[in-house]
Chains A and B, each alone.
Chain A
Amino acid sequence: MELMQGRRLADCPHSRYTANHRGRGEARIGQEQAEMAREDQIDEQLYETLDHTADIAVRVRGDTLPQLFENAAYALFDTLVELDGVAEAREEIIQVDGADLAELMVTWLNELLFLWESQLLLFKRFEVTELTDTRLTARAWGELFDEAHHALLTEIKAATYHQLRVEKVGTRWSAQLIFDI
């Protein structure tokens, strides 16, 4: 119980927040844009939330395919936790295999969810170091969950294959993902 007991009971916790933060990629976008993203709950450069009745659907973009995978991971953790409070205190090397790009994407995201749920690791920055159609190797920076510092938002059961698309649009890459909530 040590994790949950540390948290004080908050009556009506939702009343203490006003904005729904989305897509804050401080490392990649300027302060002004970040403010806009906060307002619109959308960050055009990293990902946007699409309408889905029960779950969460996002469209992720990247200039390159490795960046698409990095941004998808960012979208995953940005949905799960307030990333502001997460420090880049430790680094993990992650390698996954998949039959094709779509499966590789789902496997990569679900590997990160596995690390979160089994080891309570939260990540906020990602660097894909090797990528083929069937294998991805990446470095991920984050830290262990600490109830006093981290505000969790939404439990994600899995990244799903439903309507999954990983595709090149013009010169950029795009992926549509549905997270099961």
Chain B
Amino acid sequence: MERHELKKIHDNLYEIPKTGQMKVPGRIFADAALLSTILADQSPEQVRNVATLPGILRYSLAMPDMHWGYGFPIGGVAATDIKTGVISPGGVGYDINCGVRLVRTDLRHSDVRDRVRDLVGALFEKIPCGVGSRNAIPKLSLSELDRVLVEGAAWAVKNGFGTTDDLEHTEESGSLPGANSDKVSERARERGRAQLGTLGSGNHFLEVQRVDEIFEPAVADAFGLQEGSITLMIHSGSRGLGYQVCDDYLKVMARASEKYGFSLPDRQLACAPVTSREGKDYFGAMACAANFAWANRQIMMHLGIETVLKTLQISPRNLGAKLVYDVCHNIAKFEEHTVDGKKRMVCVHRKGATRAYPPGHPLVPRAYRAVGQPVLIPGDMGRASYVSVGTEAAMEETFGSTCHGAGRVLSRHKAVRAAKGRSICRELEDQGIIARSRGKRTMAEEMPEAYKDINNVVQVMHDAGIARKVARLKPLGVIKG
């Protein structure tokens, strides 16, 4: 797409006017510099494709970290009418409820300065990561797995991984209503059964971080974050179980799209009416995968905290670990939003986007209700990650959504080529970051320069008033798949 095809709304927002089969305009949050990166790949065309979905409301939205995905762009948000609109697995992705959680601690950077290497080594041993990682916990029986699919993070807590406080600090309390395990195939179960409590590969990570800068002290205080304190961040999803659910339902949706007479610009956008049997079945199965992902992150967090305690030989009281929040960034959910001045339920697809609810919203945990929902935005392993906070503007403009990460700018192939002859590990170490990975190419593929600068991405949403910056976190130790 060319720059002249876009209409500038303000410095951080551009519109793709409604043309052809589009039912609504597209809107891209970006500044001029990020926009030129965005226009270099095919993601703006994907924004346009999403705008053709039956029942889409207001805009096909894209966040500044957007890049070329399959079906929806990564960084895409679309809300559909629950009576006349559709639900699309392509608007969620294969890694259903891929998401992030952040743990705060009472540790200061000075407490761990000389122990980061030990911590990273111990975490790397304890938390299975990498291609095909499995067996973090004993293999589940099928009936036990069914409970995970319905109960989500609560299952993990019940089985000794964490506390009930954690559930309150998890989006949807770690369990999406409407999960129907009958709609999850045997194959999906078989694929995910041994993978609960594992990190996986690609951009997934566990990081030991230091709070580098506070932008809003009162909000940071409410989230339990102080400058110089240590945090743990986990980025992972529903593993093979989610991938299989998506794959299974893409076939179902391909038939459904034909049956309901939808003409779609991309096969990966296959969808069905929210109210149809196919739509309901997909939602039931997707919710199960989402719950699996919440249990997964809950278990990994518990294993991570245990490992820190053991490595540093300190008591839980001295560690003071508490879950700040857990957000999902690949999901479709039924939420209440105001459209044309009226409150109504809509089906919000977030594919590489984070919920960003404002102060006072009933779904924001009580401890944060006065300030707003914590938004966790992981960056690459060299630069930083951010904690932002949701706003009323997000409710008005983006169906309560903001960006989810830095967004890739180099293909994996190009990154590997750029890393040739270099030691990314050593380069990171020179910046004071200890990194470990399983996969041979992971460090090269995931090198910081393969990503957009998280600082710029987060700044766009801050300046647009959608999600305000609260704290920046710098990586000290990283484990990757």
| A binding-site residues for B, Cβ under 8 Å | 1-5, 7, 9, 11-15, 17-18, 20, 41, 49, 51-56, 80-82, 99, 102-103, 106-107, 110, 113-114, 116-118, 120, 145, 151-155, 157-158, 160-164, 178, 180-181
Contacts and interface: CB of A to CB of B under 8 A. Distances in A.
A107 B250 CA distance: 11
Contacts, number: 164
Contacts of B302: none
Contact of B187 (A118, A162, A164): A118
Contact of B135 (A3, A53, A56): A3
A152 B439 contact: yes
Interface string B431-461: 0000011111111110000000000000000
B342 interface: no
B132 A116 contact: yes
Interface of B: 41, 67-71, 74, 93-95, 121, 124-125, 128, 130-136, 187, 190-191, 195, 200-202, 240, 243-244, 246-247, 250-251, 254-255, 266-268, 270, 408-414, 416-417, 419-421, 423-426, 436-445, 481
A161 B410 contact: no
A61 B41 CA distance: 25
B188 to A, nearest CB: 9
A89 to B, nearest CB: 18
Given A11-B425, A117-B132, A153-B440, 17 more contacts: A3-B135, A13-B438, A13-B439, A20-B441, A52-B68, A53-B408, A103-B254, A116-B132, A152-B132, A154-B202, A154-B439, A154-B441, A155-B131, A160-B94, A161-B254, A161-B270, A163-B266
B74 A54 contact: yes
Contact of A51 (B74, B195, B254, B411): B411
Contacts of B69: 54-55, 162
Contacts of A145: 132
Contact of A13 (B68, B201, B413, B437): B437
Contacts of B191: 114, 117-118
Nearest to A160: B70
B104 to A, nearest CB: 28
A181 B391 CA distance: 32
Contacts of B121: 9
Given A53-B41, A180-B70, A152 B408 contact: no
Given A117-B191, A162-B70, A103 B251 contact: yes
Contact of B420 (A13, A18, A114, A120): A18
A178 B70 contact: yes
B136 A56 contact: no
B411 A155 contact: no
Contacts of B444: 14
26 contacts: A3-B134, A4-B133, A4-B135, A7-B438, A9-B124, A9-B436, A12-B423, A13-B438, A17-B440, A18-B420, A20-B417, A20-B420, A20-B441, A49-B413, A81-B131, A113-B243, A118-B240, A153-B131, A153-B439, A155-B201, A158-B94, A160-B94, A160-B268, A161-B71, A180-B93, A180-B243
